[in-house]
Amino acid sequence: MKQLIALVEKIYQSKQIMSGRLHIYNLFNLQNASSNIAINQYEDLVHAGKYDTKESLVTIGELQRHPWILLGWGANHKRNHVFLLEAKNTWLKLIHDSGIPTFGKHHPNNIDYYHPCPLIATQRPKMVEELLEIYKVKFYDKPKRFTFLKWNGEYGDEAKFIVRDNDLNMQSLFTPGICNDLFWFHSDLAKDKAVSAWVEFGEESVDDLNEVAF
């Protein structure tokens, strides 16, 4: 809690008076002094049908009340944590659908984010500073949300683009005027052979796909 207080105070240090609430959401709501034991209990309970991986989820409307979301569920990544991975992916999809920007110290090899409070006390101030810098890059020097990578060369109803969501680093096939049913992929669609003849679009970017007319 002290780590989160320190981070929020640094983010909003220009404001003399801060008011509001910081909401903390858990991937699951089992408690144990050992995270490894808690995760193993979680996996066993879900496998036995006694716990739902979606139990901790909230509504999109609730997420949309927040200006940002800090991801920091820890880097305890093991292949046998099948249901924990399912919970992480479900939360990521929910956050993506909410459209709320996120930040966190991302693990370089998987979908995990380092916990904001390291076990070694001397590393905690450093983590606050690292998260603050990540926040500044994301929000102060933030690029526009969507970047156009390739275009099929057509106009009007026939126009199609490969577009990248810069917040999530995912790509989709986009048709102007159709924004609600987009499917987003982690793979690099712009390098797919099926669009090899499409035109490079110069990485032009926008914040809202709904405003695109072509």
Domain ranges of the chain: 2-139, 146-211
Measure the CA–CA gap between 138 and 69, rounded to whole angstroms: 12
Measure the CA–CA gap between 209 and 174, rounded to whole angstroms: 9
Measure the CA–CA gap between 166 and 149, rounded to whole angstroms: 12
Q: SS3 for 50-116, per residue? A: CCCCCCCCCCHHHHCCCCCEECCCECCCCCCCHHHHHHHHHHHHHHHHHCCCEECCECCCCCCECCC
Measure the CA–CA gap between 113 and 98, rounded to whole angstroms: 19
pLDDT at 138: 82
Quote the Cα angle for 68-71-73, to 5°.
150
Joined tokens for residue 90: 């479900």
Long-range contacts, stretch 134-138, CB < 8 angstroms, 24+ apart? 134/103, 134/104, 134/105, 135/11, 135/68, 135/103, 138/101, 138/103
pLDDT at 43: 95
Confidence check: pLDDT of 101 > 80: yes
**Mean pLDDT, rounded, of the chain:** 89
Confidence check: pLDDT of 203 > 80: no
For 114-138, the pLDDT digits (tens) are 999 999 999 999 999 999 999 988 8
Measure the CA–CA gap between 135 and 206, rounded to whole angstroms: 20
pLDDT at 168: 80
Confidence check: pLDDT of 214 > 90: no
Measure the CA–CA gap between 143 and 166, rounded to whole angstroms: 8
DSSP string of 106-166, one letter each residue? B-TTSS-B--SS-SSGGGHHHHHHHHHHHHHHHHTSPPPSEEEEEE-S--GGG--EEEEET
Measure the CA–CA gap between 214 and 212, rounded to whole angstroms: 7
For 142-201, the pLDDT digits (tens) are 667 899 999 999 988 899 999 998 878 889 999 988 887 789 998 899 999 999 999 998
pLDDT at 166: 85
pLDDT at 35: 86
Confidence of residue 110 (pLDDT cuts 50, 70, 90): confident
Joined tokens for residue 133: 């810098």
Instruction: Give the residue, 55 or 18, on which the prediction is more confident.
Output: 55
**Which percentage of the chain shows pLDDT scores above 70?**
97
Taking the model in full, what pTM does it have? 0.64
